[in-house]
Amino acid sequence: MPLPKISTPTYELTVPSTGKNIKFRPFLVKEEKILIIAMESQSDKQIAQAVNDVLSNCILTKGVNINDFSTFDIEYLFLNIRGKSVGESVDVMITCPDDNTTKVPVQINLDDIKILKNDKHQRDIPLDGNLTMRMKYPSMGEFVKNNFSVDMQVDDTFDLVCSCIEQVFSEEESWAASDCTKKELHEFLEQLDSSQFKKIEQFFETMPKLSHTLKVTNPNTKVVNNITLEGLNAFFG
């Protein structure tokens, strides 16, 4: 006689970038195993892939493709699912910046971690008096492909930017990036001057992200430090 199936609760949340509701279940032991192995590897790429795999398993709404979500959607979904799985708080180890040595354990309530939106952020980037480039958010798949590296090579940076171009338009015409080849998009970017490309960099720099600011007292120096944690890695516990 086979063992009985154990029922799991289901929850619902809203995806930040789209406003759509999705249903999910908590992690199971098999998913926790995936995450523990990824954490022990200390590889950003492996952690990102583990988060992708776990979310794919836990999201119950049909027709949802994890690779279509933006990075901040993925971060928000992961923390919320984690909260329903192993507790509503996360333990992190903070290195006090006043001496860059002392480590202080801190417990953070997941409800206090919010998506930070920058008022200067805009998806439509004016290139000149005529053309505007509309950007879309990079998917977790794009960051996994680029190894989550902050020191990407020039070609990798161009590939990432190209993958985030949705369309280029003027008052009279529009060109969808999906109708262009990678070579054509690269050549288009190479026409931009430094100030125009800087606007594209600002799109990435000001993208919404997980953020939480807290005060941490260094027990050795008694200095009170203001700490801002940003991005999934900062909260991965």
**DSSP letters for 46-112:** HHHHHHHHHHHHHB-STT--GGGSBHHHHHHHHHHHHHHHH-SEEEEEEEPTTTT--EEEEEEEGGG
| HSE-CB for 235 with a 13 A CA cutoff | 31
* Sheet (strand 132-135) strand order: 124-126, 132-135, 165-169, 174-176
Q: List pLDDT tens digits, range 108-167.
A: 888 888 888 889 899 999 998 899 999 998 876 665 555 444 445 556 778 889 989 999
Q: Residue 170 — pLDDT band, cuts 50, 70, 90?
A: very high
User: For the stretch 58-88, what's the b/e string if a residue is b when 16 or more beta carbons lie within 10 angstroms of its beta carbon?
Assistant: bbeeeebebeebbbbbbbbbbbbbbbbbeee
Residue 65 pLDDT level (bands cut at 50, 70, 90): confident
Q: Give the integer Cα–Cα distance in Å for 39 and 233.
A: 10
Query: Could you identify the residue written with the tokens 């759509």?
Result: 20
* Domain range summary for the chain, segments of one domain joined by +: 11-116+209-235, 124-205
